[in-house]
Amino acid sequence: MSDTASPVWFITGCSTGFGRELARLVLDRGWRAVVTARDRARVEDLAQGRDGRALALALDVIDDDDIEAGVAAALKAFGRIDVLVNNAGYGYLASIEEGVAEEIRAQFEANVFGLFAMTRAVLPVMRRQKSGHVINIASVAGFCGFPGSGYYAASKHAVEGFSDSLAKEAAPLGIKVTVVEPGPFRTDWAGRSMTQTASTIPDYAETVASRMATTSKNSGTQAGDPVRAGEAMIALVAEANPPLHLVLGEWGHDAVVKKLKETLAEVESRRQTALDTDYPAGER
C-alpha cells in the first residue's frame, strides 16, 4: 500500500456483503474510499459523516462509461488510487446441461469482463504512482468445482488465471496483486447475489438439485464472518510482501488444500506421460 497516511481505496460492489463491510472498516480507520454500487442510494449511508474522505458513486462494472467516470471522479476527489478491490459480481447456479446461455453470459459480463475492465482503467493510475494493490475477489470455486456451480466456478477460474498473469506483469511496476478466495461466508450471496436455474432432470437430483437446496437452506448460518474477512484484507495490504492467493474460512482453506494435493499427486503420477510427448532429446 502507499506510504500516504490516508490511502485511497476504490471498492466495487459495496451495497452488501464483503464490499460493504470492507468499506466500513476502511472508512472507520480514517482512510479515504470510493464506495460504489449500481444503485448509489444503497451506499450513500457509508459516506455520511465522512465529508472529504468518502465518495459514493453509482457504478455498474459492465458499463465502460460508468467505469471511466468513476475513476475520473476518484482522481478528482483524491488524486490517487492506492487499493482497487474488484468485489462486484454474483453467483449463478445451474447444472451444466440446464444452464441458460443468457444467464451464463450475464454472469461472465459482471464477474469476468467487468473485473477486467475495472482493472484496466485503474492500472494507468497505479503505474504513474509506481505503487498500488489490486485485490480480486474470487472464490474457493476458483480452485474447486462443485455440482451446480460449474458456470460460477468457470468465472472464478478466469479471475484466478487473470490474477496470476497480472501479478507477473505488475510486480516490476510497484503494483501488488492478491486474489482472495472465500469459502462460505455469512453474506447475502445465496439471496440477492445469486440467480439460479432450477434443475429438473432426475439424473441430477442427488448432485445438482441437492446442492442447490442445501446452499439456500444454509444461507445465514455459514461460519465465515464478512467483518473478519475485511480485516484480513486490510492487514494484507499492509504487508511488504503480500501473498498472491489468500483463502478465507476454515472450510475453504481445507477444501483448497485437499484439491491442490490431489491435483499435484495426479499430475506427478503422469510425469512419464508428459515427458514422452516431447521430441526425443536428440531431435530438438
Domains of the chain, start order? 8-275 (3.40.50.720)
The pLDDT of residue 188 is 65
Question: Residue 204 catalytic?
Answer: no
Annotated catalytic residue: which of 90, 92, 151, 152?
Answer: 152
Distances from the Cα of 210 to the Cα of 17, 48, 192, angstroms: 25, 43, 20
DSSP letters for 201-262: -GGGIIIIIHHHHHHHHHTT--SB-HHHHHHHHHHHHTSSS--SEEEESHHHHHHHHHHHHH
Mean pLDDT across the stretch 91-114?
97
pTM here is 0.93
148-172 per-position pLDDT tens digit = 999 999 999 999 999 999 999 999 9
Q: Count CB atoms within 10 A of the CB of residue 231.
A: 14
Buried b (16+ CB within 10 A) or exposed e, 190-228: beebbebbebeeeebeeebbebbeebeeebeebebbbee
Alpha helix positions (H), 86-238: 101-108, 115-129, 150-170, 210-218, 226-237
Has residue 46 got a pLDDT over 90?
yes
Backbone angles phi, psi at 152, to 5 degrees: -65, -45
One-letter amino acid of 132: G
**pLDDT, mean over the chain:** 93
Has residue 221 got a pLDDT over 70?
no
Backbone angles phi, psi at 137, to 5 degrees: -85, 115
109-136 per-position pLDDT tens digit = 999 999 999 999 999 999 999 999 999 9
Which of helix, strand or coil describes residue 16? coil
Pick 212 or 243 by higher pLDDT.
Answer: 243
Grid look-up 488510487 returns 81
Pick 100 or 2 by higher pLDDT.
Answer: 100
Confidence label for 279 from pLDDT (cuts 50, 70 and 90):
very high
Has residue 1 got a pLDDT over 90?
no
Has residue 189 got a pLDDT over 70?
no
Q: What angle do CA 140, 142, 144 make, to 5 degrees?
A: 65
